[in-house]
């Protein structure tokens, strides 16, 4: 029995990476006087590392290893990432990152049906709140009973930790929930937590290996709640619902 939907955020609710996070990272790098530019292609590669701070560390280790040895390197990364977050929040708050097709309709259907909603993401809670409020409704953060975000856990996706944390807060078994993810790291995290998982491919993830997903869709526009319920039943793989209003 399906009791709750657990949504990833970046790439799943909205295409936040290329024109959101990436642009904010680059602006923070420029403000800090660093000669770094994360091009769209490079950023696609860097996304194999989950988490903004972790991504900066990974980039330094690969392209600027001297910097890693400087005193208080951790503080440097933290400040750089705080500045990036402030810039990202400004962009999100101005309405710069709309929801992907089908997301608003599915959320409304789930709420009307009394399903519980949760978030499991690598980005920070403040980024999530800002995105939900700006792209859905001023009270939309309250629609989600549990928000597992950012540094709540140290091991980020593909580790299952954030999903296990969310499941514990919901007080539900993995089999009673459905995770919705856009990336291989996210899928691996959800599967490792035992969650049936639906994939909605995103800009940067269409080439990822989604082995183990219940289904892989180009977006959520054809994923009605009744279809999700049928698919969630072990062995159930119904056709997508082509009749739903895709404009919602
Ligand atoms: C998303 C991420 C995030 C964002 C940046 O992964 O990896 O790190 O790119 O967010 P997922 P922060 O969708 O699998 O959760 O800079 O706030 O960490
Ligand atoms: Mg994602």
Residues 123 and 239 sit within 8 Å (Cβ to Cβ)? no
Whether the CB of 127 sits within 6 Å of ligand 1? yes
The whole-number pLDDT of residue 243 equals 54
Quote the radius of gyration of the chain (alpha carbons, Å): 18
The whole-number pLDDT of residue 247 equals 41
- Ligand 1 atom nearest to 51, measured from its CA: 8
Mean pLDDT along residues 43-64:
96
Whether the CB of 185 sits within 6 Å of ligand 1? yes
pLDDT category, 248, cuts 50, 70, 90? very low
* Tens digits of residue pLDDT in 174-216: 999 999 999 999 999 999 999 999 999 999 999 999 999 999 9
pTM for this prediction: 0.94
Is the pLDDT assigned to residue 242 strictly greater than 60? no
The whole-number pLDDT of residue 244 equals 58
Q: Which residues of 25-61 are buried (b: 16+ CB within 10 A; e: fewer)?
A: bbbbbeeeeeebebeeeebbebbebbbbbebbbebbe
């Amino acid at each position: 029995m399906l009791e709750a939907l657990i949504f990833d955020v970046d790439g799943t609710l909205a295409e936040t990476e290329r024109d959101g996070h990436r642009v904010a990272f680059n602006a923070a790098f420029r403000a800090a006087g660093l000669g770094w530019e994360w091009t769209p292609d490079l950023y696609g590669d860097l996304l194999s590392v989950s988490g903004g701070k972790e991504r900066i560390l990974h980039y330094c280790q690969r392209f600027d290893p001297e910097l890693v040895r400087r005193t208080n390197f951790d503080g440097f990364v933290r400040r750089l990432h705080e500045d990036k977050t402030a810039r990202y929040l400004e962009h999100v708050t101005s309405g710069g990152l709309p929801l992907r097709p089908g997301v608003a309709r599915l959320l409304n259907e789930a709420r009307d049906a009394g399903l519980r909603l949760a978030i499991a993401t690598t980005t920070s809670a403040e980024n999530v709140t800002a995105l939900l409020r700006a792209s859905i409704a001023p009270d939309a953060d309250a629609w989600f009973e549990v928000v597992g975000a950012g540094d709540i856990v140290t091991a980020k996706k593909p580790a299952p930790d954030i999903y296990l944390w969310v499941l514990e807060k919901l007080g539900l078994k993995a089999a009673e929930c459905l995770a919705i993810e856009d990336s291989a790291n996210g899928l691996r995290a959800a599967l490792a937590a035992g969650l049936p998982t639906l994939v909605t491919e995103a800009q940067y993830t269409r080439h990822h290996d989604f082995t183990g997903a219940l289904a892989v869709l180009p977006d959520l526009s054809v994923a009605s709640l009744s279809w999700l319920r049928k698919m969630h039943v072990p062995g159930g793989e119904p056709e997508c619902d082509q009749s739903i209003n895709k404009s919602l």
